[in-house]
A and B are shown apart, each in its own frame.
Chain A
Amino acid sequence: MKNEQTRPDLNISGVGRAAGGMYRHVRVDGVGKFSGDIDCVSYEVNGTSGLQGNLHCERYVVNGSANIQGSVAADEYQVNGSSKIEGSVKTRQTRIDGITSIKEHLQTDKLIVNGKATIDGKLIGSCVEVAGGITVGKDVECETIEVQGGFKIKGMLNAGTVDIVLHHRCEVEEIGGEQIQVRRKSKVRLLDQFVPAMTPRLKTHIIEGDDIYLEHTHAGTVRGGRITIGPGCEIGAVEYSVSYEQDPESRVGRQVQM
């Protein structure tokens, strides 16, 4: 970052307002409001802050709550509290242990979600790990995705490796990729027998990939090379080109070799 030495720090302890501009470290310990774009090295919120503009920084850390009217470009994006972004977010590393909502797209290399993330636009990344919950309004494109929690994707999930361990309900319009694996770790819980709507399962229309292994999945069509259907699935049609195996406990409408 240019002329880092000459930039002033901006600390707000208590209640304060400031204009946008170039700063070195921005830190809010009480309530802070900024009225303009900010370019800084670090932006740290321990209390509450609002920014009317875009933010460009190296480190974005929210322990309290932050609201940004514009977009964020950062190297590191970390939310332990809650953060709301009206624009899009572009980062190298993103870690959500709290709650974040992003109105537009999220583009990041590595995304870890232990809390809850809501992205109304697209999610583009290379490595995505979800242990909490994630909701995406449009498509998800990444190299690997590992899910241990729940998700709702209103578009398509396109990833090289998809590894889903079902703990909650997962829903996605379409899955496309190379290796796709959907498993369920936990045994059938007592609750499932009384409230079937709560059973962890994956619901989707189409799954297409080279290697597919599915458990507890409800899908319209599954297409690909090597397909294995494990227990608990309900599938309309399977179209495979290399091999096909099916657990007797699953229901498959029809299967065709292409």
Chain B
Amino acid sequence: MTEDLISKKELLEQTGISYGQLYRWKRKNLIPEDWFIRKSSFTGQETFFPRESILTRIDRIKNMKDELSLDELADVFSPSVSNKVLTRVEIERKHLVTPISIHLFLESGSEKEKQTFSFEEMLCIYVLDQALASGQMNREEGILLVQTFQAYYSKFQDKGCDIILTRKMGIPLFTMLTTGSEVYFDTGVKEVLRLSLNTYLEQLKVKLSESEGF
């Protein structure tokens, strides 16, 4: 995977933050360790970051740090799941996901009349919702997605993971793997969707913390 990288110096110039701030955010786990990419250059060692991710992250920290403390922010960005429980009514009222997705989620499980959802289940519905909204996945595959998620998400614990949807001759196949790892398929396989669960986790946490005020 060849990513577009940005050097530390360039990053600080562009965003106007200081070394101290960058290191403080790193300490508070607002910037993940594995974004610090060390490379040797002619002046010794230089640190690089994945350009897209770091710029959006810093932008978000700068925008949100007035309302939230650094520790609260760290919670938003951490890949670990919070232990919040949501009711169905709450989810619908906050417009977190479309009712179709909730319905589909319930259909794929054993409890059809579930009224409360754990944060992990909520995340699953959210991912399902986003995948459906992308228009690249149909409802049947959605059920498969939910089953894959529920069976294996806990195995990744706090390490972030991606879900890939591939199709070969029209047959769907879901794969879950650790974020950033490379994966190769044979030529007949088409990668349809790659969903980074960390991104969705963050989005969901932000949405929840934003809607708290209402």
Contacts and interface: CB of A to CB of B under 8 A. Distances in A.
Interface of A: 141-143, 158-160, 174, 176-179, 205-206, 208-210, 220-221, 223-225, 236-237, 239, 258
A208 B27 contact: no
A158 B26 contact: yes
B189 to A, nearest CB: 39
A-side interface mostly: strand
The 3 closest A-B pairs by CB, nearest first: A178-B20, A210-B20, A176-B23
Contact of B20 (A174, A209, A221): A209
B23 A158 contact: yes
Nearest to A211: B20
Nearest to B20: A178
A209 B19 contact: yes
Interface in B114-156: none
Contacts of A221: 43-44
Nearest to A141: B27
Contacts, number: 51
Interface in B1-41: 9, 13, 18-20, 22-24, 26-27
Contacts of A176: 19, 22-23, 26
30 contacts: A141-B26, A158-B23, A158-B26, A158-B27, A159-B23, A159-B27, A160-B20, A160-B24, A160-B27, A176-B23, A177-B20, A177-B23, A178-B19, A179-B20, A205-B45, A206-B45, A208-B23, A209-B19, A209-B20, A209-B23, A210-B20, A220-B44, A221-B44, A223-B9, A225-B18, A225-B19, A237-B43, A239-B9, A258-B9, A258-B13
Contacts of A209: 19-20, 23
A24 to B, nearest CB: 31
A205 B46 CA distance: 11
B44 A223 contact: no
Nearest to A207: B19
Interface residues of B, number: 13
A178 B28 CA distance: 14
Nearest to A239: B9
B24 A205 contact: no
A6 B168 CA distance: 63
Contacts of B43: 221, 237
B40 to A, nearest CB: 11
A127 B87 CA distance: 42
Contacts of A239: 9
B24 to A, nearest CB: 6
Contacts of B19: 176-178, 208-210, 223-225
B155 to A, nearest CB: 22
Nearest to B44: A220
A90 to B, nearest CB: 16
A77 B199 CA distance: 39
B83 to A, nearest CB: 20
Nearest to A161: B20
B161 to A, nearest CB: 23
Contacts of A179: 20
Contacts of A174: 45
Contact of B23 (A178, A220, A225, A258): A178
